[in-house]
Structure 1
Amino acid sequence: MEVANIIEVTLQDCDGIEPALKERAQARFLREIERFFPDEQSMIDAWRSYTDAAEGSEITGEQEQLARSWLKAFDKARQAGFQGIAVEEAYFDVRIA
């Protein structure tokens, strides 16, 4: 699944890290999150459900399940992204078009 055109991942608050290392971390994060979902629409639906829940919107049971899948995927992707780098305050910012 190629979703690079709809998802933007940036590693934030990682001052002093080499640009190449930052790019590899972002690429690992993106690869891992892509693996978690069967297709682009599934990823978008999970992300939307998660953001709706995080903003306090009322969501259905199905949307809650999707939001939980986003959290699980994000955690796995975050772990993959940080593999081999040591940054204390850094985080991955994800935006979907």
Structure 2
Amino acid sequence: MVELTVPYENRMEEAHIYKREKYMNLTKELENAGYNAVVMPIEVGARGFVGSSVYDLLTKLSICGNKRTRALKLLAEIAENSSRWIWSRRNERFLHKD
């Protein structure tokens, strides 16, 4: 199971620990039912910093070398562009509940 979190960069480790612990009981239940369950929380910072957890995930998925480098760069760009888009529309009505 992969759980993506997009925290502020100064909360990357905290987010990783929280997500790992959040799914601990589910993992145990699945294992008790005979499944092999692995939880992999990954973090990509809101300003584009890609956590080492993403690097580890890509490696486990056999995505290495140039493909991994391109994937990490793309993830960083997408996170940064998404945050910029949200920030640029922070005053628009559809983002606020009336």
What TM-score, normalized to structure 1?
0.31
Considering only CA atoms, is the larger Rg found in Structure 1 or Structure 2? 2
What TM-score, normalized to structure 2?
0.30
Bigger strand share = 1
Higher relative contact order (Cα pairs below 8 Å, separated by 6+ residues):
1
